[in-house]
Amino acid sequence: MPLLDWVLFFGGGLALYFGAEWLVRGGASLAARFGVPPVTIGLTVVAYGTSLPEVVVSGSASLQGSGGVALGNVFGSNICNVALILGLACVLRPLSINRRLVRREIPFLVGVSGLIVLMLADGMVGRAEGMTLLGLGMLFTWALFRLSDPRELREELEVDEYVVVRRTAIAGDIARVAIGCVALFLGGAWFVDGATGIARWIGISETVIGLTMVAFGTSLPELVTILIAVRRGQHDIGVGNIIGSNVFNLTIVFGSAAALVPVPFPGGGAWGDVAFSLVLPLAVMLFRGRAGR
AA letter at 195: A
Which pLDDT score is estimated for 137? 94
CA 240 to chain centre: 9
Which pLDDT score is estimated for 18? 84
For 290, the 3-state DSSP assignment is strand
Which pLDDT score is estimated for 119? 92
Q: How far apart are CA 245 and CA 285, in angstroms?
A: 17
Which pLDDT score is estimated for 112? 92
**Any idea what the Cα angle at residue 71 is, between residues 276 and 213, rounded to 5°?**
85
pLDDT in tens, the chain (293 residues): 578 888 988 888 888 888 877 887 787 777 777 777 777 878 887 888 878 777 777 777 777 777 777 787 788 888 888 888 888 888 877 777 777 777 788 889 999 999 998 998 888 899 999 999 999 999 998 988 787 665 554 444 443 434 444 445 678 888 888 898 888 888 877 877 787 787 778 887 654 555 456 666 777 788 888 888 888 777 788 888 888 889 999 999 899 989 988 888 877 767 887 888 888 887 776 665 555 55
Residue 225 burial class via C-beta count within 10 angstroms: exposed 0-12, middle 13-18, buried 19 and up: buried
C-alpha dist (Å) from residue 66 to 41, 57, 213, 260: 33, 10, 19, 12
Closest C-alpha to 6, from 173, 160, 193: 193
Closest C-alpha to 224, from 185, 173, 166, 179: 185
C-alpha dist (Å) from residue 8 to 12, 54, 56, 204, 292: 6, 20, 19, 18, 35
Give me the CATH topology for the region 3-157+169-286: A middle domain of Talin 1 (1.20.1420)
C-alpha dist (Å) from residue 269 to 65, 66, 265, 273: 21, 18, 11, 7
